[in-house]
């Protein structure tokens, strides 16, 4: 829902899964997402009903427990209904990658990579940390990103900077370098997806 908003605009849902606003013609509401979010309250209610029914019962069957069926069936029906519509919604949505990349650059998530770059060049990390912080502060004042600083501007701060800086702070390269277990690199992401698919496959076999 947040990613659909104008503040983020990272994704756009297909018209089949959204509607216009009753008062703002430019608005596109992520209806399915909002309805599923609303259903969470209902499922939470079912959980609280079940917990309340079972609270304090002795170790045996009690007549109270006939009240557990309705809330369990309702929760299963509600979740199943939500899950049926989500695959089509996700498969038809448009991912606005340029907006995501721009947001990443504005967030200076590659500042650590800048400090690491200087450290690998021989600068003590404490100095690289301080220098990078100054560069980020300058970018914020001037409305720029680290990638937009010229080599001349960078070398005014340290002669260690060279053309390799831009590859070091490239967002995609920064993600690829974090190729540790559970990390965000493409390889690790594919591994996590494969594990999720295997989990679903095994779950279906059990059903």
* CATH number, domain with residue 139: 1.10.40.30
Which of 48, 71, 95 lies at the terminal end of a domain, its last residue?
95
Query: Using CA atoms, how far apart are residues 93 and 18, in angstroms rounded to an integer?
Result: 11
Same domain, 86 and 37: yes
* CATH number, domain with residue 74: 1.20.200.10
**What per-residue confidence (pLDDT) applies to 207?**
65
Per residue in 23-48, pLDDT (tens digit) is 777 778 899 999 999 999 999 999 99
Same domain, 90 and 17: yes
Same domain, 65 and 116: no
Same domain, 83 and 22: yes
| Domain hosting residue 34, numbered range | 11-95
pTM metric for this prediction: 0.72
Number of domains in the chain: 2
**What per-residue confidence (pLDDT) applies to 141?**
95
Query: Using CA atoms, how far apart are residues 174 and 113, in angstroms rounded to an integer?
Result: 7
From first CA to last CA, the distance across the chain in angstroms is 32
Question: Is 176 among the domain residues?
Answer: no
Same domain, 79 and 109: no
How buried is residue 31: exposed, middle or buried, by Cβ count under 10 Å (0-12/13-18/19+)? middle
pLDDT over 70, % of the chain: 100
Place of tokens 């209902």: 42
Same domain, 77 and 42: yes
Question: Is 187 among the domain residues?
Answer: no
φ, ψ for residue 5, nearest 5 deg: -70, 160
Question: Is 197 among the domain residues?
Answer: no
Dihedral of the CA atoms 161, 167, 173, 175 (nearest 10)?
40
**What per-residue confidence (pLDDT) applies to 203?**
84
Question: Is 4 among the domain residues?
Answer: no
Question: Is 48 among the domain residues?
Answer: yes
Low-confidence ranges of the chain (pLDDT < 50): none
Question: Is 73 among the domain residues?
Answer: yes
Same domain, 112 and 81: no
Question: Is 174 among the domain residues?
Answer: no
Same domain, 19 and 91: yes
Query: Using CA atoms, how far apart are residues 200 and 196, in angstroms rounded to an integer?
Result: 6
């Amino acid at each position: 829902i947040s990613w659909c908003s104008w503040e983020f605009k990272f994704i756009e849902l297909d018209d089949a899964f959204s509607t216009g606003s009753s008062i703002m013609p430019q608005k596109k509401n992520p209806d399915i997402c909002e309805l599923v979010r609303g259903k969470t309250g209902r499922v939470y209610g079912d959980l609280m009903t079940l917990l309340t029914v079972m609270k304090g019962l002795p170790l045996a069957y009690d007549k109270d427990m006939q009240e557990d069926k309705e809330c369990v069936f309702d929760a299963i029906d509600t979740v199943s209904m939500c899950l049926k519509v989500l695959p089509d919604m996700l498969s038809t949505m448009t991912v606005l990658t340029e907006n995501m990349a721009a947001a990443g650059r504005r967030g200076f998530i590659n500042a650590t990579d800048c400090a690491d770059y200087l450290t690998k060049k021989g600068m003590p990390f404490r100095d690289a940390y301080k220098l990078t912080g100054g560069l980020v502060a300058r970018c914020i004042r001037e409305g720029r990103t680290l990638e937009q600083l010229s080599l001349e501007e960078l070398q005014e701060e340290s002669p260690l900077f060279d053309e390799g800086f831009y590859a070091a702070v490239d967002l995609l390269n920064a993600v690829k370098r974090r190729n540790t277990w559970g990390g965000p690199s493409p390889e690790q992401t594919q591994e996590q997806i494969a594990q999720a698919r295997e989990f679903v496959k095994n779950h279906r076999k059990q059903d």
